[in-house]
Amino acid sequence: MQWQAIVDFDGTISEKDTTDSVLARFAEPGWEAIEDDWVAGRIGSRECMERQVALLRASPDVFDSFVESFAIDWGFAFFVRVCQRHGVPVTVVSDGLDRTIHTVLRRAGLAGLPVIANHLEPVGADRWRLTSPHASRDGSCSSGTCKCSVASSLGRPATILVGDGRSDFCLAERADLIFAKNGLIAHCDQAGVEHRPFSRLAEAARILDDMLTGVVPAAASHHIKDLING
pLDDT at 164: 95
Query: Do 83 and 89 touch, CB atoms closer than 8 A?
Result: yes
Q: How many CB atoms lie within 10 A of CB 229?
A: 10
pLDDT at 216: 55
Whether pTM > 0.85 for this model: the answer is yes
Task: Please say if the pLDDT value at position 1 is more than 80.
Answer: no
List beta partners, residue 201: none
Give the whole-angstrom CA distance, residue 202 versus residue 171: 22
H helix runs in the chain, sequence order: 18-26, 31-39, 45-53, 60-67, 75-85, 98-107, 147-154, 169-172, 183-191, 201-212, 222-229
